[in-house]
Structure 1
C-alpha cells in the first residue's frame, strides 16, 4: 500500500507543478472554471487508480485500465512541466531582450500564440503519455539474434538460449505475463532459459512466479541470477523462495557460481554473477567501488573454470562485460537498463546513461547482448519494446 500511495503522491506532485506551468501559458486555466475542470480530471484519474488497485487485491477486475490512466496522466504532466517550463523561460528571455515588440495583427497573433502555448502543448503531452503507456502495457516481442563464435564446438552449433530479464512482477506486471514469456520461449524451442535479474517487486507473488519459471520445457531448464530489485524488495525472502524451488531441479539460482551443462556430449559452463550493491542497499556506487565488487564476484564465480571451457556469463549489470571478456566468456547476457524504454527505432534516447545500453556489443571474440527487458516497473515505452530474446549460437 505504501508503494501505491507513493505513486499517487508522485503523480499528484507532477500534476501540481504542471498546472502552475500551464496556467502561465494557457489563459483558460487562470479562470475558476478552467482550473476546476483541470483538477476535477486529475482527482478522477487518481481516485480511479486507487479504486483499480483495491479491486486488483481482491477477486474483482485487476484495474489495468486505471493503472494505465495514471501512467499516461503522469507522463503527460511531466512533458507539460518540462516543455512548458522551457517555453516560459524562452518567453521571459525574449521579453527582456525585446521589451517593446513590433505590432502584430490584433486577432491572428494572440489566437495563434494561445493555441501553440496553451492547447498544443497539453494535446502533444496527452498524445505522448497515452501512446507510450499503451505501448508499455502491450506485452513483449520475441526477438531472435544469431551470435557467431569462432571456435565454437560443433555440438554447440545451433544451441539456443532464451532470455527473460527485468520482469518486475508487481503493480504493473502479473504472473500471467511471466507465463506468457516462458511459453513463448518454449514455443521457440530453446535449449536453455535464463532469467538475468529483477524478477520480482511484489514478494506476495514470488512463489507463484517461481512456479511459472519451473514450468519451462527447455531441456536444460531455467538458470537465474539476482538483480538489484530482489535485494531492495527482500533478499532473504527471495533466496528462501529459490531454495524452496531447488529440489525440483528445473530452476537453479547462481550467485557468484557456475554450473556445467552437457549438450550433445559437449560441456557448456554457465557462470552467474551477483549484482554489485553497496552498503544499506546503495544502488549507485562510485565507478571504482562498483568495479571492486564486480572483480570480487568474478574471482568467486570463475573458481574452477578451465581456460579451454566454453563459457556463458549471466550478469544483471552490463558493465560486467569487460571482466567477463577478460576471463574468456564467449557470450554475456545482461539486462538492468531496460534499453532506456524511450528511443527511436531501438536507438535509445538516453544512451549516455550506460556504456552498454541495448543490443549487441563485442570485445575480441567475446560478445554481449543487453536486453530491453521483459517487463517494467513503470509502464511507458516508446521505440524500445519489451522483449524475450532467443539467441542462437553459431560457429563462425
Structure 2
C-alpha cells in the first residue's frame, strides 16, 4: 500500500500542476487566481485525508463514506486531464501536419469541452460501481512433475484480498464462497487480507468455516498484513485450533487422499531494509520443513515476493499470492502501477509457476481494467 500511495500522490501532484496551468485557458485575473487556490485546497485536502485514513487503516463508517467521493473526484479528474492532454496533443499534431496557421482561439480547447469531465467522471463511476463488483473467472492448467496420481486433475480455486468492511460485506463474502464452489473446485485457497473489520470478523470466520464442506479437499488459508492491522491474528489462531479451516502459518500439511501432495503457507513478512530478505527466507524454510523432498507442494503466500523463494527452492510447482490487487488499474491486461516485482497474473521460472491474484475486494474502492477475480488451477501430471 505505501508504494501504491506514493505513486498515486505523485500522479495527483502532476495532475494538479497541469490543471493549474490549464485553468489559464478558462479564466484570467482574479478569477483565475481564486480558481487555482480552490483547486489546490481541494486536491491537497483530499489527498491528505486519504493518507490519514489509509495510514490508520480506518475505512469503515464515516471514513468509508468520505473515502469514496474523494476517490471518485480525484480519479475522475485524472482521467479528465488524460483525455484533455490527448486531445490537445492530437490537435496540435494534426494542425502541424496540415500546416494550419496559428489561431489563438484554438488554444481555448477546454472552454466548451464539457465532454472531457463528463467522460472522466463516468469512467471513475464505472470503476467504483460496476467493475469493482463484476467478478471474472480465470482458468489455468499447471503441469506438475511427480504429481501423485491421486492429485491428477485436482482443481484449486483461489480468492484473495476480500478486505471485509465498508466495501465488502459478510453477505457478499458468503455469495463469493458460493460462486467459487459452484465453479467446480476441489480445494479453496484464501491468500490473506480477509479479516479487515473488527465488527464483522467473527461473522466472516463463521461463514468461511461453514463453507468448508463445499470443497472435497477443504479450505486452506494463509494470513495477510491487514489481519494484523485489525487484530485478527487471535481469530486466525482459533480457526487453526478448531480445524474446520486449514490455517498455514509457516507450516505445511498433506492433503488427505491426494498422495504426496502438500500445501504450505507462510506468514506475512513485516521486516524492512536488510532484515526483509532473511525474514522471508526464514518463513519459507519453516513452511517447507515438513514437506518431503520427493513430494509436490503448493505454496500459499500473501506477499508476491515469495514466488522467488519457491522458484529457487525447486520443489514448489505452484505459488499462489495476493496483496497487490493487480494495481487496481490496468490497460490491455497489464497493471498501470507495477509497484511490485510481480503485480498481476502468472509468471514461470524454471518450471515453478507463480500467480498474483487481483483480489476480490479493496481498501481503494475503485477498479478500472482490473476486475476482481476467482482463479482456478487444474493440476496435471507432467512426465519427466
TM-score of the pair, normalised by structure 1: 0.73
Provide the rounded CA distance (Å) in 1 between the counterparts of 2:369 and 2:103: 41
1:174 maps to 2:161: no
Is it true that 1:271 corresponds to 2:259 in the alignment? Answer: no
After superposition, where does 1:326-341 map in structure 2 within 5 Å? Answer: 326-327=312-313, 328-341=315-328
Secondary structure at 2:285's aligned position in 1? Answer: helix
Q: Does 1:208 align with 2:194?
A: no
Secondary structure at 1:390 match in 2:
strand
> Residues 120 and 191 of structure 1: is their aligned pair in 2 closer, same or farther, counting only changes over 3 Å?
same
Q: Deviations over 1:250-301 (max 9, x none)?
A: 213211111111225x1321110111103xxxxxx33x43211111112221
Q: Tell me how far 1:69 sits from its aligned partner.
A: 4.5
Which has the larger displacement, 130-139 or 253-262? 130-139
User: How far off its partner does 1:67 sit?
Assistant: 6.8
Let me know the Cα RMSD of the aligned residues.
3.5
Pair 1:358 & 2:337 matched: no
Measured at CA, do residues 326 and 268 of structure 1 come closer, stay the same or move farther in structure 2, by a change above 3 Å? Answer: same
1:24/1:301 CA distance change after superposition, 3 Å: same
Change (3 A) 1:31 1:259: same
Which of 216, 224, 229 is the equivalent residue of 1:219? 216
Deviation at 1:312, TM superposition (A): 0.8
Map of 2:27 onto structure 1: 27
The answer to whether the 8 Å contact 1:255/1:274 transfers is: yes
Worse-matched range after superposition: 341-350 or 132-141: 132-141
Structure 2 length-normalised TM: 0.75
Counterpart of 1:243 (choices 237, 248, 251) is 237
Could you tell me whether the CA contact under 8 Å between 1:21 and 1:81 is conserved in 2? no
Within 5 Å, give how 1:222-371 maps onto structure 2: 222-231=219-228, 233-234=229-230, 237-264=231-258, 266-278=259-271, 285-286=272-273, 288-327=274-313, 328-351=315-338, 353-371=339-357
Q: Deviations over 1:152-187 (max 9, x none)?
A: 222111111111111111221111221122111211
Listed as ranges, the gaps of 5+ residues in structure 2 are 1-8, 47-59, 90-99
Contact 1:146 1:392 in 2 (8 A): yes
Residues in 2 aligned to 1:123 and 1:275: alpha-carbon distance in whole angstroms: 42
Alignment partners' CA distance in 2, 1:190 and 1:202:
27
Superposed CA deviations along residues 202-232 of structure 1, whole A, max 9, x for unmatched, are: 211111111121122112221111112222x
Residue correspondence of structure 1 range 69-88 to structure 2 within 5 A = 69-79=69-79
Where does the alignment leave 5 or more consecutive residues of structure 1 unmatched?
A: 1-9, 47-55, 91-101, 279-284
Q: Is the 8 A contact 2:326 2:359 kept in 1?
A: yes
How many residue pairs are counted as aligned between the two chains? 335
Quote the Cα distance in structure 1 between the aligned partners of 2:107 and 2:183: 59
- Distance change in 2, residues 1:292/1:84 (3 Å): farther
